[in-house]
Structure 1
Amino acid sequence: MGTDSPDTGLRGRKKARRRQEILSNASELFARQGVDATTMAEIAEASEVSPPTVFNYFGSKENILNALIFEGAERARNAHRDSPRATGKPFGDILAQLLFEFTDNTLQIAGKRVWRYAESVNIRRPNSDFQKRFATSDAALIDLLAEYLGDYDMRLLNGADPDPDFLARMFFDRWTARYFAFIKDEVMSLEAHRVDVVADTHTMVGLLFEPEFAAHSPLKKKAARS
């Protein structure tokens, strides 16, 4: 019937667990001593496997970094996409929480040091596969934010029809500026970053949205039913 045997399924699960363990150990080593200073042999030792095993799973240290960042980002986006939309409270609070969770999720994927390295690679290697995947990941996050915004019965102060894509880009760009400041400052706490994100988001919501909507965040009828 084309289904896996119990043994095949068990082997697949064991391989998936081992792969995730390698990624987790690599993340810890990258955070502690830097990506460049970390060797495949050290990743193998931390994972209690042989260096050829690590190479068989990933092929290179760059591929480990790619998997760590882009697979983690996709998992985080999927979790947000399926989450219920809050309503009945200030829109600034709702959006600020979502944007803060973007940051929190990146730290669960990797630490500040790794993200600084990844961002520097993104800048140093224009038109590389890494840069293209980074751009694709950012675009997917903006699309997610636009999808999130589109579920609300938004009303703008100027009476125009709200464009979720345009608004998503605005909020994403401002969050990105705060995120870069956060990862560049090794001593800045996550709470201090949260305070900055909340302040920025409330300011933008106050400038953009009609007060009644901003205060209560009503959902569109279709989104409220789903």
Structure 2
Amino acid sequence: MTAPMGLRERQKADRLRRILEAASTRFRRLGYDAARIEDIAEEAGVSVGTVYNYFGNKGDVLVAIVSVEVEEILEEGAQLIAASTGDVAEAVGALIGLYYDHSLHYLSKEMWRTAMALAIRSPDTPVSRRYTALDARLAGQVCTLIESLQTRGKVRPEIDATAVGTLLFNNLNMMFIEFAKDEEQSLSELKAQVSWQNAPLLRLIAAPDRPATPPG
């Protein structure tokens, strides 16, 4: 059992939450480039020095917001996988839908583009490595879903669940990048397009329905 946080830990966690909420608000309102650490501190009701106690720069703040987003998605995704009772297409569609529906909760498309650019521009930095690690955890959860479906007899036993899960994640991730680049595309359009792309693969990996056992 996790020990309850002391007063100092609660205060520290509260300041961090306020800073990230303030950063999300200012990034959306002003844009990432225009927002300053001073603006974030003012929104959060803390000093500029306090912000720098937690983060080295704006990029660190942005990736921390991405991390909060992904942690919540992973937690909800784990619950969805555990409770899933549908067929392959239904289960995969539900998990991908969860990812997409949650993706704009804390971040705008512009914020996502910036986070992606930061990760690509400087691949050896802590910010980039953290972003890459978050992607890897999401990919792992898609693989876990395919493994779970295989265990329940919904996916053919000869299928490499890790390969298929990785393929599905790579596609949904690529399509999300295109979505972030297009300010006009809606989430419903994104989900419909990815569902159409995934349909042939999901039909191929789905285990055939077992005929009902005749009464003895």
TM-score relative to the length of structure 1: 0.80
Correspondent of 2:180 among 180, 183, 187: 183
Correspondent of 2:33 among 33, 36, 45: 36
Q: 1:194-213 residue pairs with structure 2 within 5 A? A: 194-212=191-209
How many correspondences in the alignment? 204
Q: 1:1-226 residue pairs with structure 2 within 5 A? A: 9-83=6-80, 84-87=82-85, 89-152=86-149, 153-156=153-156, 161-212=158-209
Q: Give yes or no for contact 1:73–1:109 (8 Å, CA) kept in 2.
A: no
After TM superposition, give the deviation of residue 172 of structure 1 in Å: 0.7
After TM superposition, give the deviation of residue 184 of structure 1 in Å: 0.8
The 2-side partners of 1:150 and 1:132 are apart by 27
Gaps in structure 1 of 5+ consecutive residues: 214-226
Secondary structure in 1 matching 2:65: helix
The 1-side partners of 2:74 and 2:34 are apart by 30
The percentage of counterpart residues that share the same residue type is 28
After TM superposition, give the deviation of residue 211 of structure 1 in Å: 4.2
The 2-side partners of 1:150 and 1:90 are apart by 13
The 2-side partners of 1:127 and 1:201 are apart by 33
Q: Give yes or no for contact 1:154–1:162 (8 Å, CA) kept in 2.
A: no
After TM superposition, give the deviation of residue 142 of structure 1 in Å: 1.3
The 2-side partners of 1:103 and 1:97 are apart by 10
Secondary structure in 2 matching 1:15: helix
RCO higher in structure (CA 8 A, sep ≥6): 1
After TM superposition, give the deviation of residue 171 of structure 1 in Å: 0.7
CA RMSD between the two structures:
2.2
Secondary structure in 2 matching 1:42: helix
Gaps in structure 2 of 5+ consecutive residues: 211-216
Give a deviation string over 1:145-190, Cα, whole Å, max 9, x none.
111211122443xxx6121110101111221222112111112111
The 1-side partners of 2:117 and 2:164 are apart by 27
The 2-side partners of 1:57 and 1:132 are apart by 18
Stretch deviating more after TM superposition (77-86 or 30-39): 77-86
